[in-house]
Amino acid sequence: MSTQNSRPLDRRRAVARILRERGDALVVTSLGNPTFDVAAAGDRAQNFYLWGAMGGAVMVGLGLAQAQPGKRVIVFVGDGEMMMGIGSLATVAVQGAPNLSVVVIDNEHYAETGMQPAHAGRGADIAGIARASGFDAAAQVRTEAELERAAQQILHGAGPVLVTVKVSTDPQPVALPPRDGPYLRSRFREALLGTDAHQ
């Protein structure tokens, strides 16, 4: 639960903390800041960045998690993206996905488009929606200590896991990863599948 008077978490540091021990985890990001946050933590072939397709990131993660049951799949999404694809939480919970974790980087705003207030800051509780949709592991994080515990759940917990990380709206340095779709696709598949990527 929330600690009074603590500064809101910094999104870049929170994402970097979660990914520090990622091992061979596969990462999918939703458009906008989650893509930039993950790139800032270290661009690599095992990251698949979405630059559009809003609302689809969790389902990209489910398809990937089903295809790669031996690997942890972590999907980083914004709170606006998560609300647009909110039904996908029910799909994931009903289907089951033991190796899938969803991390909502929740600044309660549409930061990319002019900082308009978003539902997550106006009463919509994304972790609560996940729980009500059938996620056994769904939590909200506001402090460093909570983030430490949640990171273990995200990296190793029985999925599907959803963690909403409440973060500040402070501006962040630019961190733009590649955005050429076929390049991102082939880089990811080759790292994962080797020469089978080109069959």
Partner 1 sequence: MNWPQKIHEAFQALNVRQVSYVPDAGHSALIRLCDQDPGIRSVSLTTEEEGVAMAAGAWLGGERAVLLLQSSGVGNCINMLSLQHETRMPLFMIVTMRGEWGEFNPWQVAMGKSTQRVLEESGVYVYRADSPEEVPAQVAAGASFAYQTGRSVAVLIGQRVIGTKNFNK
- Smallest gap from Cβ 107 to partner 1, in A, equals 23
Q: Which of 3, 5, 20, 6 is nearest to 155 (CA)?
A: 20
Query: Which residues of this protein are in contact with partner 1, per CB under 8 A?
Result: 26, 28, 48, 50-68, 85, 87-88, 90-91, 94-95, 181-182, 184-185, 188-189, 192-193, 196-197
Please, which residue, 68 or 143, has the CB nearer to partner 1? 68
Residue with tokens 């999404």: 77
| Least distance from partner 1 to the Cβ atom of residue 25, Å | 13
Three-state SS letters, 20-38: HCCCCCEEEECCCHHHHHH
Give the largest CA-CA distance in the chain.
Answer: 55
Choose between 95 and 116: whose C-beta lies nearer to partner 1: 95
Min CB(177)–partner 1 separation in Å: 14
Rank residues 1 and 94 by Cβ distance to partner 1 and give the closer one.
94
CA gap 68, 79 in Å, rounded? 26
Minimal distance in Å, beta carbon 23 to partner 1?
17
| Residue pair 87/106 in contact by the 8 Å Cβ criterion | no
